[in-house]
Amino acid sequence: MINIAIDGPSGAGKSTVAKALAKKLHFVYVDTGAMYRCIGLYVHRCGVDAHDADAVAALLPKITVSLSYAEDGEQHVYLNGEDVSFAIRENVISLITSTISKIPAVRAHLLSLQREMAASHHVIMDGRDIGTVILPGAQLKIFLFASAEARAKRRTKELISRGQEADFETILAEINARDIQDQSRETAPLVPASDAVMMDNSDMTIAQNVDAICMLLAQRGILNV
């Protein structure tokens, strides 16, 4: 099976690029970030302190996370059977997710499922430790990044397009805080795999991202696109 790992900081467009690439290549897209966000949403709804590892771990047996394609052709994420594709994208859930993703029990809860998907399908998987931890044997690893300002602009535009209130400066501060958390955590910190291709997409369109990755696949003889 061909596995493509796309890592990078919050707001770099990993999911959007991965979805577009998966559609072009007819691969299965695995949104690992959405899986973690589901757990973060459940923790938030239960009123549990995200920093209390034991309390969070105690909730895991009650959580079922699944991915499937809906009638709109888009992949949706389900928490205990409820479609939470939009709920998990709220800013407060982003920060909670960064905290609970440090917890070993949370990572173990999802790791086996993610690896099973990669072993049985051609997949494109995005997250923060795909190339370093989850799929270290992936044939192609991309570390996608952009300036904090570029990421904040994208996030602000995305929220406004959904009819939600969005303040650029607040979102920029949250992104910077998320970066610090992700880079400094002890468990699976946000770092590029040693063999990852670094790709700055601050000024790139989604189509340009996809074309660049397809070119890499062809150049390396992994897949003729």
What's the pLDDT tens digit per position in 118-141?
998 899 999 888 999 999 999 999
In a domain, 60, yes or no: yes
CA distance 173 to 168: 9
In a domain, 225, yes or no: no
Count Cα atoms within 13 angstroms, Cβ side, for 69: 9
Summarize the confidence of residues 41-55 as an average pLDDT.
97
CA distance 141 to 193: 8
In a domain, 37, yes or no: yes
Which structure tokens are listed for 47? 């009123």
pTM score, two decimals?
0.74
Beta strand pairing status for 82-83 and 75-79? antiparallel
In a domain, 190, yes or no: yes
CA distance 31 to 77: 9
Can you state the angle between helices 14-25 and 206-219, rounded to 10 degrees?
A: 60
pLDDT tens readout for residues 11-38: 888 988 999 999 899 898 988 888 999 9
3-state secondary structure of 14: helix
Task: Identify the CATH number of the domain in which residue 95 sits.
Answer: 3.40.50.300
Lowest mean pLDDT among 47-61, 144-158, 163-177, 181-195: 181-195
Summarize the confidence of residues 187-200 as an average pLDDT.
89
In a domain, 224, yes or no: no
Q: pLDDT at residue 214 above 90? A: yes
More confidently predicted of 109 and 75: 109
The domain of 160 spans 3-219
> What pLDDT, on a 0 to 100 scale, did the predictor assign at position 75?
79
Structural domains of the chain, count: 1
In a domain, 9, yes or no: yes
Which structure tokens are listed for 12? 């770099």
66 in Cβ contact with 78 (< 8 Å) = yes
